[in-house]
């Protein structure tokens, strides 16, 4: 079955004459007279029909065996690090989602976890960082917010020869756009808040694992016994978003490419960072590993922070807000949201290209440039 069909039907466990599945709010499930449970559900933190529907659908969309849904992308990511043993070492990229980097620096490393930051675009640096006890390599490609690409095939080879698990934060690359499990990665993590849910109305995250192995069982234990689980309504909303994911992504990808091409020709632009442009420094890697180039791009403005701020303020259809992956276009000055230890250039604006008509988005950008 193809992605569009799986997305619409895999999660539906219909009862009565429902066309879509209901929201099961019950926290607890009844035993039969003989003490047995008629299905797998006992207590809703452990499992419930809506979460199972979401997890099964995501596992099928990623061609994986299992998935575990969490109450945020951050909780999903944390579970992967927390599943490591006390003598295990992990390697992460310097350019990565700032919230996870913050947890690594301020929570995991201070509690004695051994985690190294490397520039993942530099494979020699990655190889040098490998230790005998390296158990996990974490990558994010394209990276946030510089859209640097990691050569995923090359990192998979390095991870395999080190005997390490390769986990990919594929939030910016929903199923079908960058099939890292098929390439040989072990785990995919998504912030479901973004493209999966797609409407900026629910926070969630999910860990998808190619195999139901020991490492995943530990993640499942963390999910159930630490309990950072999404509510049944959250799961229902995310699954509803997933039903239109493929169609929304076509619009995000096509609008983003057109906007990137338009921006590249503006006099006030220093650089457009978008993997679908031939000018991207790693365009060849993009063509090798990305089926589509995504809905996210960043721009560097001539004239520094003041001009970047003014351009964002001049826009009327693009909303100035953090986050990404919703149907509405957003624009954001990343350095100010990331705070004082941010490495992001202060003339950078990050754009989440939405599904408004491309002509209206370009007209909005044109009037914002005119007013600079
Ligand atoms: C938003 C995001 C996260 C964190 O997800 P939350 O749902 O906000 O906790 C992780 N990784 C990437 C790439 C993101 O964009």
Q: Is 172 exposed, middle or buried (0-12, 13-18, 19+ CB in 10 A)?
A: buried
How would you classify residue 51: left for phi > 0, otherwise alpha for psi between -120 and 50, otherwise beta? alpha
User: CB of 97 closer than 6 A to ligand 1?
Assistant: yes
What is the β-pairing status of strands 114-118 and 134-140?
unpaired
Average model confidence (pLDDT) across the chain: 96
Same domain, 131 and 218: yes
| Structural contact between residues 362 and 259, judged by C-beta atoms closer than 8 angstroms | yes
Same domain, 199 and 283: no
Among the residue ranges 19-23, 150-154, 366-370, the one predicted with the least confidence is 19-23
Model confidence over 64-95: pLDDT tens digits? 999 999 999 999 999 999 999 999 999 999 98
User: CB of 143 closer than 6 A to ligand 1?
Assistant: no
Q: Any idea what the CATH number is for the domain that residue 269 is in?
A: 3.90.1150.10
Distance CA 94, CA 131 (A): 18
Name which residue sits closest to atom 5 of ligand 1, judged by CA. Answer: 73
User: CB of 72 closer than 6 A to ligand 1?
Assistant: yes
| Structural contact between residues 249 and 292, judged by C-beta atoms closer than 8 angstroms | yes
- In 3D, which of 239, 66, 99, 227 has the Cα closest to residue 169? 99
For residue 252, pLDDT beyond 70: yes
Per-residue tokens: 130: 């490998």
- In 3D, which of 61, 118, 108 has the Cα closest to residue 80? 108
Q: Any idea what the CATH number is for the domain that residue 203 is in?
A: 3.40.640.10
Among 176, 209, 243, the domain boundary falls at: 243
Distance CA 188, CA 195 (A): 14
Same domain, 254 and 152: no
Banded pLDDT at 14 (limits 50, 70, 90)? low
Strand partners, 140: 169
Considering its fold, how many domains does the chain have in total? 2
Same domain, 254 and 228: no
Written as one string, the DSSP assignment of 105-168 is: IIIITTTT-EEEEE-TT-HHHHHHH--TTEEEEEEESS-TTT-----HHHHHHHHHHHT-EEEE
- Residue positions counted in the chain: 372
Q: What percent of the chain has pLDDT over 90?
A: 91
Predicted local confidence at residue 10, as pLDDT: 87
User: CB of 281 closer than 6 A to ligand 1?
Assistant: no
Q: What's the CA-to-centroid distance between 259 and ligand 1, angstroms?
A: 24
Q: How many CB atoms lie within 10 A of CB 273?
A: 22
Model confidence over 198-214: pLDDT tens digits? 999 999 999 999 999 99
Among 228, 243, 258, the domain boundary falls at: 243
Distance CA 60, CA 78 (A): 23
Predicted local confidence at residue 181, as pLDDT: 98
Q: What's the CA-to-centroid distance between 32 and ligand 1, angstroms?
A: 41
Same domain, 232 and 268: no
Predicted local confidence at residue 340, as pLDDT: 80
Same domain, 187 and 332: no
Q: What's the CA-to-centroid distance between 104 and ligand 1, angstroms?
A: 14
Same domain, 200 and 347: no
Predicted local confidence at residue 359, as pLDDT: 98
Name which residue sits closest to atom 8 of ligand 1, judged by CA. Answer: 73
Containing structural domain, residue 109: 3-243
Same domain, 83 and 206: yes
Model confidence over 128-181: pLDDT tens digits? 999 999 999 999 999 988 999 999 999 999 999 999 999 999 999 999 999 999
Same domain, 230 and 256: no
User: CB of 200 closer than 6 A to ligand 1?
Assistant: no
Residues marked as catalytic: 45, 97, 169, 194
Distance CA 313, CA 84 (A): 44
Predicted local confidence at residue 109, as pLDDT: 97
Distance CA 79, CA 100 (A): 11
Same domain, 317 and 227: no
Among the residue ranges 11-20, 134-143, 298-307, the one predicted with the least confidence is 11-20
For residue 11, pLDDT beyond 90: no
Same domain, 94 and 157: yes
Question: 224 φ, ψ to 5°?
Answer: -80, -45
Banded pLDDT at 329 (limits 50, 70, 90)? very high
User: Percentages helix, strand, coil for the chain, rounded to the nearest 5?
Assistant: 40, 15, 45
Q: Of residues 277 and 37, which shows the higher confidence score?
A: 277
Our separate counts of H helices and E strands in the chain read 14, 12
Same domain, 319 and 278: yes
Q: Which residues contact 327 (CB under 8 A, 6 or more apart)?
A: 198, 199, 200, 248, 354, 355
Q: How many CB atoms lie within 10 A of CB 131?
A: 13
Among 243, 273, 294, the domain boundary falls at: 243
For residue 303, pLDDT beyond 70: yes
Distance CA 36, CA 54 (A): 25
């Amino acid at each position: 079955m193809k992605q569009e069909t799986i997305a619409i039907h895999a999660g539906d466990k219909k009862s009565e004459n429902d066309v879509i599945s209901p929201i099961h709010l019950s926290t607890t499930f009844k035993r039969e007279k003989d003490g047995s449970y008629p299905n797998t559900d006992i207590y809703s933190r452990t499992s419930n029909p809506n979460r199972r529907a979401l997890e099964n659908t995501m596992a099928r969309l990623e061609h994986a065996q299992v998935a575990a849904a969490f109450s945020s992308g951050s909780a999903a990511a944390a579970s992967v690090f927390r599943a490591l043993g006390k003598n295990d070492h992990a390697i992460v990229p310097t350019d990565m989602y700032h919230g996870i980097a913050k947890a690594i620096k301020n929570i995991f490393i201070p509690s004695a976890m051994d985690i190294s930051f490397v520039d993942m675009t530099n494979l020699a640096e990655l190889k040098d960082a490998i230790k005998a006890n390296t158990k996990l390599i974490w990558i994010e490609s394209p990276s946030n917010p510089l859209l640097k690409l990691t050569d995923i095939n090359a990192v998979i080879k390095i991870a395999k020869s080190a005997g390490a698990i390769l986990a990919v934060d594929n939030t910016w690359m929903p199923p079908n756009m960058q099939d890292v499990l098929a390439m040989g990665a072990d785990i995919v993590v998504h912030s479901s808040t973004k493209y999966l849910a797609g409407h900026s109305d629910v926070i969630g995250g999910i860990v998808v694992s190619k195999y139901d192995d020991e490492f995943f069982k530990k993640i499942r234990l963390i999910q159930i016994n630490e309990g950072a689980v999404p509510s049944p309504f959250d799961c229902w909303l995310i699954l509803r978003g997933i039903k239109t994911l493929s169609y929304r992504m076509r619009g995000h990808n096509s609008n983003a490419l057109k906007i990137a091409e338009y921006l590249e020709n503006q006099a006030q632009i220093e650089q457009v960072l978008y993997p679908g442009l031939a000018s991207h420094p790693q365009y060849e890697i993009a063509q090798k590993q990305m089926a589509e180039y995504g809905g996210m791009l960043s721009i560097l403005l001539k004239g520094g922070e003041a001009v970047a701020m003014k351009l964002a303020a001049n826009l009327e259809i693009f909303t100035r807000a953090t986050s990404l992956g919703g149907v509405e276009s957003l624009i954001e000055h990343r350095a100010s949201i990331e705070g004082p230890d941010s490495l992001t250039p202060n003339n950078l604006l990050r754009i989440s290209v939405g599904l408004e008509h491309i002509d209206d988005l370009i007209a909005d950008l044109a009037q914002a440039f005119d007013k600079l």
